[in-house]
Amino acid sequence: MTIAELCIFASVILYLLTIAPVKWIGAGQYDNARPRDPAFYQSGIRERALGAHQNGIEAFPFFAAAVLLAEFRAAPQNLINELAMLFLIVRTAYVLTYVGNRPALRSILWVLGFAITVAIFFLPLLRNYLPI
């Protein structure tokens, strides 16, 4: 298993861990029988954590597909690994800025994470021009 493939798994864990602390902290108000109750997510940090969680779910398929495509098409594995780790770092910072209510920085980090995923996706096209 490659480092990039482990980053795919780590990105799933990241979006799960984004919402879990909010549910745990609000244990007295959180009703597991109604996990999607909009009333629970109406306050500031809960609402932002839910937004970060949902965005993680949205970002995951393209990232996973990009990593697997790059590996299947024999792009340089060291670059795939490095970009996948960078994506994970950026996404972690994204979650922190989302929950911490820093919208401008959050948007910059989202664009950067998307650009990293696009770079991974197109690595197979560049393999003839990159040092291996």
Residue 33 is predicted with a pLDDT of 77
Tell me, which fold does domain 3-126 have in CATH? Four Helix Bundle (Hemerythrin (Met), subunit A) (1.20.120)
The pLDDT tens digits of the residues spanning 53-110 come to 999 999 999 999 999 999 999 899 999 999 999 999 999 999 999 999 999 999 999 9
pTM for this one?
0.90
**What number of residues does the chain have?**
132
The structure tokens listed for 32 are 């597991």
Tens digit of pLDDT for each residue in 5-41? 999 999 999 999 998 888 787 767 777 677 777 777 7
- The contacts of residue 41 (CB under 8 Å, 6+ apart) are 47, 49, 50
What is the residue extent of each domain of the chain?
Answer: 3-126
